[in-house]
């Protein structure tokens, strides 16, 4: 069992509520088979909650009720599965090209009994036109100037991209300005999610996309 610190436990209860046990089971998958199959590094175990799961789950506060969300490059389900657990009202499509990751995700989804998630084994660009969504999420996929063309087209001209980023966010926005405008981005901002409950809030680049 991966233990939570007092602060992590408080945050986890606020974020996951009566689905906290599901979140704990997901973390156990990450700490066991996730490491065995190379989805998570063994050194990440002590910070699975703070750096990964809670870091991703707070993004749920930026998504409207009942939204259809596409998570690009889901990998170990970050942030896709965190959002699906925290928000059963959302419908998640996980887009992941690597078969071994897809197999692991399927096993976890089945074990947790999540009925608001589907997986598409595909590269992001090949999934354009096959996914219906109003929100696209991504974490640790690529810099914003290369991420935007892989994600924004999935929105079909309307919605928002929520990209979990680090300290380089502002510089990435500057470099991606022309690309974002070309793709229909009408407003780009940096949001700190979870400021009230996380020791280190999550940096999210939100790009609002509107048909021209």
Q: What is the pLDDT of residue 10?
A: 94
Q: What is the pLDDT of residue 158?
A: 95
- Worst-scoring range by mean pLDDT, 9-13, 40-44, 58-62? 40-44
pLDDT tens per residue, range 133-177? 999 999 977 889 999 999 999 999 999 999 999 888 999 999 999
Q: Are strands 185-193 and 68-72 parallel, antiparallel or unpaired?
A: unpaired
Q: What is the pLDDT of residue 91?
A: 98
- Tell me the CB-side half-sphere exposure of residue 188, using CA atoms within 13 A: 22
pLDDT for residue 212 is more than 90: no
If you count them, how many residues does the chain have?
212
For the chain, what is the mean pLDDT?
94
- Cβ burial, residue 7 (10 Å; 0-12/13-18/19+): middle
Q: What is the distance in angstroms between the CA of the first residue and the CA of the last residue of the chain?
A: 50
> CB atoms < 10 A from the CB of 15, how many?
24
pLDDT tens per residue, range 99-109? 999 999 999 99
pLDDT for residue 193 is more than 80: yes
Q: Enter the tokens of residue 151.
A: 């994600």
Q: Spell out the SS3 assignment of 100-165.
A: HHHHHHHHHHHHHCCCCEEEECCCHHHHCCCCCCCEEEEECCCCHHHHHHHHHHHHCCCEEEEEEE
pLDDT for residue 211 is more than 70: yes
CATH homologous superfamily of 6-209: Vaccinia Virus protein VP39 (3.40.50.150)
């Amino acid at each position: 069992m991966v233990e939570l610190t007092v602060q992590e436990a408080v945050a986890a209860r606020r974020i996951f509520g009566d689905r906290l046990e599901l979140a704990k089971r997901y973390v156990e998958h990450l700490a066991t088979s996730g490491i065995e199959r190379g989805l998570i590094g063994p050194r990440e175990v002590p910070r699975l909650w703070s750096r990964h799961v809670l870091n991703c789950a707070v993004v749920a506060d930026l998504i409207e009720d009942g939204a259809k969300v596409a998570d690009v490059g889901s990998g170990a389900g970050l942030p896709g599965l965190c959002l699906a657990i925290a928000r059963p009202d959302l419908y998640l499509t996980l887009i992941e090209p690597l078969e071994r990751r897809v197999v692991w995700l399927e096993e976890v989804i089945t074990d947790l009994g999540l009925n608001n998630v589907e997986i598409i084994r595909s590269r992001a660009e090949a999934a354009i036109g096959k996914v219906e969504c109003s929100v696209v999420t991504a974490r640790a996929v690529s810099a914003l100037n290369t991420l935007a063309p892989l994600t924004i087209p999935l929105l079909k001209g309307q919605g928002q991209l929520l990209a979990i980023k680090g300290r380089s966010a502002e510089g990435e926005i500057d470099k991606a300005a022309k690309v974002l405008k070309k793709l229909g981005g009408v407003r780009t901002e940096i949001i700190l999610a979870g400021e009230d409950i996380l020791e280190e809030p999550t940096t999210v680049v939100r790009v609002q996309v509107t048909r021209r």
